[in-house]
Amino acid sequence: MTGYARTALLMAALTALFMGLGLLLAGEAGLVIAFALAAAMNLWAWWNSDKAVLQMHGAREVTLATAPDLVGLVHDLADRAGMPRPKVYVIDTDQPNAFATGRDPQNAAVAATRGLLRALSREEVAAVMAHELAHIRNRDTLIMTVTATFAGAISMLANFALFFGGDRDRPMGLVGTLALMILAPLAATLVQLAISRGREYEADRVGAEIVGQPLWLASALQRIEALASRIDNIAAERNPATAHLFIINPLHAHGHDRLFATHPSTANRVAALKAMAAGGGLSRSSVPPAGRRRAPGPWR
């Protein structure tokens, strides 16, 4: 199934869930209104969901003039991968993390947190950015961003249903509203998980090929997980539907609930990368070495 077919199927499933909430809120009139809103939301998500996600996390765009080290690194990696150069953003949070977004490789962006740029070496940052470029090249970003937008909208509508009580005059109205208030966000979360975990392994593999050094990414994942588990990401906690976009889960609320983990085990990802490195066959990276483990001064 192509990336566009997966996206269409996802949109249809989330639209049906959205319409179900509308039906419980206001009966047939609510169903019609929800359908119209879902159609508008699908169109909006296709064109604007990437901008919404970047805005949720307070990301600001940087250029070669304002951040030559980071932007130059991303451009080098994109050229190495034979893909369009994405826009580059920086998020002002201490938690080390990163994500990619955009509807296609021609309209894509990568975002890194200040914490990532401070805590990781140049080699590790290069590996993380290569992982995010892999998501773009694999066309994961559209489906992941659309899912984040819709999951957030479904959760908001479910809370709206609880607050206003839904159509209680209909049979099972109150019970149905309460049940759907709980089950709708859960269903949206499960859809996120279904498309997120497997894509992370593939982005790890392709990202390691882009940067040429699987062990750089393995080291970055271990360092990010160790630090992210102790540092809050306030914007991510306020927008949990976007958690699956990040290279490492930015949330702490469900850190021990493996059923609802948005990412595969870091230990398993590291093991796969080490096996990839042991297998050989990768060309040496063209990314200039930093010359020391820590990043050489502040990233600009």
User: Which among 127, 138, 130, 81 is positioned nearest to 110, based on CA atoms?
Assistant: 130
Residue 280: exposure state from Cβ atoms within 10 A (0-12, 13-18, ≥19)? exposed
Its sign, for the CA torsion 38, 40, 42, 48, is: negative
Residue of 28, 123, 124, 132 marked catalytic: 132
pLDDT at 15: 73
- Could you tell me the two tokens for 183? 């089950």
Residue 150: CB atoms within 10 A of its CB come to 26
124 is a catalytic site residue: no
Q: Which residues pair with 61 in a beta bridge?
A: 89
> pLDDT of the chain along its 300 residues, tens only?
555 566 667 667 777 777 776 776 666 776 777 777 767 766 776 677 788 889 999 999 999 999 999 999 999 999 999 999 999 999 999 999 999 998 889 999 999 999 999 999 999 999 999 999 999 998 888 777 666 666 666 766 666 665 655 555 554 455 655 666 666 666 666 665 666 666 889 999 999 999 999 999 999 999 999 999 899 999 988 887 788 889 998 987 544 445 456 688 899 999 999 999 998 756 555 554 443 334 434 455
**CA torsion, ordered 129, 195, 3, 74, to nearest 10 deg:** 0
- The token pair at 278 is 């042991």
Is the pTM here over 0.85, yes or no?
no
Q: Which stretches does DSSP call E strand in 133-199?
A: none
Give the pLDDT of residue 283: 55
Q: Residue 12: its pLDDT value, please?
A: 73
pLDDT of residue 57: 95
Q: Which amino acid is at 132?
A: E
